[in-house]
Structure formats: structure tokens, C-alpha cells
Amino acid sequence: MSERKAALVTGAGRGIGRGIAMALANNQWGVVINYRSNEKKAFQTAHLIKDSGGTCIVLKADVSRLSEHRRLIEETVRHFGRLDLLVNNAGIAPRQRRDILETTANSYDKVMTVNLKGPFFLTQLVARKMIDLVEAGTVEAPKIINIGSISAYVSSPNRSEYCISKAGMSMMTMLYADRLAEHGIQVFEIRPGIIDTDMTSAAKEKYDRLIGEGLTSIRRWGTAEDVAGAVVAVVQGYLPFSTGEIINVDGGFHLRRL
Ligand SMILES: NC(=O)c1ccc[n+]([C@@H]2O[C@H](COP(=O)([O-])OP(=O)(O)OC[C@H]3O[C@@H](n4cnc5c(N)ncnc54)[C@H](O)[C@@H]3O)[C@@H](O)[C@H]2O)c1
């Protein structure tokens, strides 16, 4: 059995996923960098990891295509001999922000399939594999981490499909946490606030202004490293009696303030 634990991080070519992959590799994890289409970015992540002495492989798969899940898992286990962590990070915003009264079925299906249906069924297959690996004594206390969003509880009627997908992912976390506890598999949601990535670049000025006005208690943008730090904290194993927890990484955005 390989001593190095193995993590599968979806959408790890850039942004938060890249930050998570790099942080895990820095902590001696073997990492699978999954990407959908931008091979160059995925290999950039791999180079960054390898340059700092880490171990990783790059695997192409579209998480919204259920038919691609099995290969992703099989290749991970073939390479590392184990699978200790799934990070459901890949996600998209609607291509166009449209008022809820104008949202199209196409945009709804697209966002829901990438952000919720894909991760739901990928998790199902990974969970079955993890159960087998636990029973075989190959891994101990594997974990699943879902990258949610403050949009799970904040209304943005101009991207309703995104909000619904993240609210769904929150329930998905609870359901798998409950079901998998008997197998020693913990499931967590990490809930980022406003994080400086390509996803938020289109609304940079708006968020600069809101943060400057005090929207968040900690008055700065979050970074991919902030989110990655939470992932590393969870996988250290110091939360053995917790599951289904939400870890807010939002500078205090969720606090009610007066
Ligand atoms: N940036 C933020 O402020 C913020 C806040 C809360 C939650 N999040 C969530 O964090 C996650 C990462 O977001 P980010 O800000 O790094 O965005 P990003 O757009 O920079 O990165 C997302 C990555 O996922 C990949 N991806 C998209 N669809 C995919 C698919 N079908 N299969 C495989 N990979 C796919 C993209 O190619 C990209 O590399 C997302 O789930 C997002 O919803 C982001």
C-alpha cells in the first residue's frame, strides 16, 4: 500500500481547485488534477506541484458527464493504489446572468448538471469505491469535501440556477455525511464567500466597492489559499467526531451584524 494518501480534486486547472491541489501536494498528498478542457492550465498546476517536490497526475474528465466518472476513479486508484479524498470543486456560474423571470431551461440544466448532478453521481461512485477500500484495509477514514458557496443561502435573483445548485449541494453534503458515517467516511462542505478567481473577475469592481464598504467583517477578498487552508485543516484528521459540517471561509460574511 502506498504511504502517500491520494486526493482527487475536480476542476483543478485554475482558481480554487488549483490552490487546493497545491496545498494538498505541499502536505505530502498525491494529487489528481482533474480538468475538463484547458489542458495547458492543468499541466501548469502539475508543474507548480512538481517544481515544489510534490506528486500528481493530470486526468481529463467532464464531471457533468456521468459516463466519464468510472474512468476517472479507476485511473486514480490504478496510479496511487488508493483514494482517500474527493474534493468536488469544479463548478460554473451561468454563462449569462439573467433575472429569474428570464432564466432559460438551457442555462438551468447546464449549471445544475455541472454543479450538482455531476458531483452527486461522482460522489456516489467514489463512495462505493471508498467503502471497498476501507473494507480491504487500504485506506482509513477517507473524506469527501464539497466546495459550496454563500449562494446556498444568499438570494441573487440574477443567477438563480447557481444559488439552487449550491443549496442542493449543501443537502447533498448532509445526505452523504449521514449515509457514509457507518463506513467511517466523513463528508464536509467548505463554503467560500467572495474569492478572487476568474469566476469573480467580471464583478471585480462591484465586489471591491462592497468589501470596501464593510460587506465582510474581514475587509478583503478571499483567496484560493484561504479555501485550500480549510481543506488541509479538515484532512489533518483532528475532527474525528464531526461530519456534515459547513466550514465558512468568507471573512465573516455569514455573521448577522448590527
Ligand atoms: N470564486 C468565488 O468567489 C467562489 C465563491 C464560492 C464558491 N465558489 C466555488 O468554488 C469552485 C471553484 O470556483 P473558482 O472560483 O475557482 O472558479 P474557476 O472558474 O476559476 O474554476 C473552476 C474550474 O472548474 C472547471 N470546470 C468547470 N466545469 C467543469 C466540468 N464539467 N468538469 C471538470 N471541470 C470543470 C473549470 O474549467 C475551472 O478550471 C466552484 O464550485 C465555485 O462555485 C467560488
Q: Average pLDDT, stretch 136-165? A: 98
Average pLDDT taken over every residue of the chain: 98
Residue of 36, 159, 215, 223 to test ligand 1 pocket, by largest number of atoms within 8 Å of CB: 36
Cell triple for 134: 476501507
The predicted structure's pLDDT at residue 189: 99
Mean pLDDT score, 171-189: 99
CB 112 within 8 A of CB 161: yes
Confidence (pTM): 0.98
Burial (Cβ within 10 Å: 0-12, 13-18, ≥19) of residue 130: buried
One-letter identity of residue 39: E
Residue 238 is a catalytic residue: no
Q: What angle do CA 35, 40, 46 make, to 5 degrees?
A: 70
pLDDT tens digits for range 216-247: 999 999 999 999 999 999 999 999 999 999 99
Average pLDDT (36-48) is: 98
CATH assignment of 6-249, given 3.40.50.11890, 3.40.50.1450, 3.40.800.10, 3.40.50.720? 3.40.50.720
Residues across the chain: 258
Q: Are 60 and 39 in contact (CB under 8 A)?
A: yes
Distance 75 CA to ligand 1 centre (A): 22
pLDDT higher than threshold 90 for residue 2? no
Classify 141 in phi/psi space as left (phi over 0), alpha (psi -120 to 50) or beta: left
Q: What is the pLDDT of residue 141?
A: 97
pLDDT, tens digit, 9 for 90 and up, residues 126-147: 999 999 999 999 999 999 999 9
The residue among 55, 42, 51, 52 whose CA lies nearest residue 10 is 42
- Annotated catalytic residue, options 35, 153, 162, 238: 162
CA of 93 to the centre of ligand 1 (A): 8
Question: Cα of 189 to ligand 1 centre, how many Å?
Answer: 15
Closest ligand 1 atom number to CA of residue 227: 10
